[in-house]
């Protein structure tokens, strides 16, 4: 195991700056997830740590060793890619053993490691098969097994679940988490999937446009996002964003006044007349029982789409004469139809206020 430290890493491809100002410190044995939309620079950072890319500037440490000029094979890291990259002519056992043979481990140690790894990944009964005789999920487990068998100091995973179907993805995700708990190897995991990030990570690094947006524990980032990008990226359905103007006693949302109680108003660092973007998560909105009421911070809306999911119901609603759409998450037992008019209640303690120009959270 080893800690990993990135110091002001920058990577430029000709005129394109892929990543810059990348600084973070991963303690021994933690599971960190780099997450963000396509092109945000996740893979570039991971490949730089692996030694498959060279940083344009900055320093990279694995353990206490500066590895800027150390080649990939001497960094003692193992990387797993989304396309498995198994050797098709080798059996599962041979694939798992491959890295150990290359490093000239003795046959007894290799045999022991293969058996142990296969057991922990439930591959014991598949050791004699070739990759094409395996399902996608089994192939991915072999790829993980091949990486684990080497007992690297750091484990690098680049979207390892993205080729699996939904059910298998969920299962393999849970297995990965369990495996990390067992082995305690420092792990850096790249994904664009916010569910994987939330469920797997000790810490999440949210990236956008090649820069770090926020680093923190999943729940902490979810509860207190630094800016609108982070707020809308984590959470499904995403946080609703409502353009509004502050009026002193509340927010004007497309002609409707969302009243704010004095206790909440006091702490708002904004002035009357200021344009803001309000953020509210779908689970922090409910229906006012009196359909004609706009009291208690109600917003009149029209139902557009109803999606019953059993345990919960998702609805999409629009503000009158507006293109603004809100996602609302309600209980399972809701009878609504497109065209219904409702008054929605927003939990004002859960309301975020963003600066529309910079995207930063004001409150």
Residues that bind ligand ATP (CB under 6 A): 13, 16, 18, 36, 38-44, 192
The Cα 46–Cα 53 span in angstroms is: 9
Q: Which residue, 36 or 216, has its beta carbon nearer to ligand ATP? A: 36
Nearer to ligand ATP, 41 or 298 (CB): 41
Q: How far is the CB of 58 from ligand ATP (least distance, A)?
A: 15
Q: Given the complex with ligand ATP, which of 23 and 109 has the nearer CB atom?
A: 23
Smaller CB separation from ligand ATP, 84 or 251: 84
Instruction: State the virtual CA torsion across 180, 181, 185, 187 in degrees, nearest 10.
Output: 50
Distance CA 196, CA 190 (A): 9
Place of tokens 């298998």: 168
Closest CA to 190 of 31, 323, 356: 31
Taking the complex as a whole, how short is the minimal distance between the CB of residue 285 and ligand ATP, in angstroms? Answer: 31
Q: Quick one: the chain helix, strand, coil %, rounded to 5?
A: 30, 35, 40
> Token pair 């995991």 is at which residue?
189
CB of 303 to ligand ATP, least distance (A): 35
Asked if 70 and 120 count as a contact pair (C-beta separation under 8 A), the reply is no
- The answer to whether 260 and 249 have CB atoms below 8 angstroms apart is yes
**Shortest Å, Cβ 14 to ligand ATP:** 7
Residue 36 or residue 282: which is nearer to ligand ATP going by CB? Answer: 36
Indicate the residue among 42 and 281 with the shorter CB distance to ligand ATP: 42
Rounded to the nearest whole angstrom, what is the least distance from the CB of residue 192 to ligand ATP in the complex?
A: 5
d(CA 94, CA 90) in angstroms, rounded, equals 6
Q: Closest approach of Cβ 9 to ligand ATP, in Å?
A: 12
- Any bridge partners for residue 206, and if so which? 35, 214
Using DSSP's 3-state secondary structure scheme, residue 48 falls into helix
């Amino acid at each position: 195991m080893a800690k990993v430290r990135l110091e002001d890493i920058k990577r430029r491809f000709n005129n394109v700056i892929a990543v810059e100002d990348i600084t973070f410190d991963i303690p021994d044995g933690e599971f960190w997830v780099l997450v963000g939309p396509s092109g945000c620079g996740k893979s570039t950072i991971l490949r730089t740590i692996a030694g498959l890319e060279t940083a344009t500037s900055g320093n990279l440490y694995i353990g206490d060793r500066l590895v800027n000029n150390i080649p990939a094979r001497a960094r003692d890291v193992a990387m797993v890619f989304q396309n498995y990259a198994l050797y098709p002519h080798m059996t599962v056992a041979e694939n798992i053993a491959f890295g150990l043979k290359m490093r000239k481990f003795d046959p007894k140690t290799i045999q022991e490691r293969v058996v142990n790894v296969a057991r922990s990944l439930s591959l014991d009964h598949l050791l004699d098969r070739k990759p094409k005789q395996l399902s996608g999920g089994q192939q991915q487990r072999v790829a993980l097994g091949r990486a684990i068998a080497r007992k690297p100091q750091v484990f690098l995973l680049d979207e390892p679940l993205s080729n699996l179907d939904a059910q298998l993805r969920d299962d393999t995700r849970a297995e990965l988490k369990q495996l990390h708990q067992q082995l305690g190897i420092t792990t850096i995991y790249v994904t664009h999937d916010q569910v994987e990030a939330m469920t797997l990570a000790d810490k999440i690094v949210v990236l956008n446009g090649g820069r770090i947006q926020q680093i923190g524990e999943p729940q902490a980032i979810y509860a207190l996002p630094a800016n609108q990008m982070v707020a809308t990226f984590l959470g499904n359905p995403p946080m609703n964003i409502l353009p509004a103007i502050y009026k002193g006693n509340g927010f004007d949302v497309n002609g409707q006044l969302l009243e704010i109680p004095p206790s909440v108003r006091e702490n708002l660092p904004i002035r009357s007349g200021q344009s803001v973007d309000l953020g509210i998560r779908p689970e922090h909105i409910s229906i006012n029982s009196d359909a004609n009421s706009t009291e208690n911070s109600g917003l009149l809306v029209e139902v557009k789409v109803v999606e019953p999911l059993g345990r919960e119901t998702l609805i999409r609603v629009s503000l009158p004469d507006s293109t603004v759409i809100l996602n609302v998450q309600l209980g399972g037992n809701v009878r609504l139809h497109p065209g219904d008019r409702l008054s929605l209640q927003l939990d004002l303690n859960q309301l975020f206020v963003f600066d529309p120009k910079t995207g930063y959270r004001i409150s």
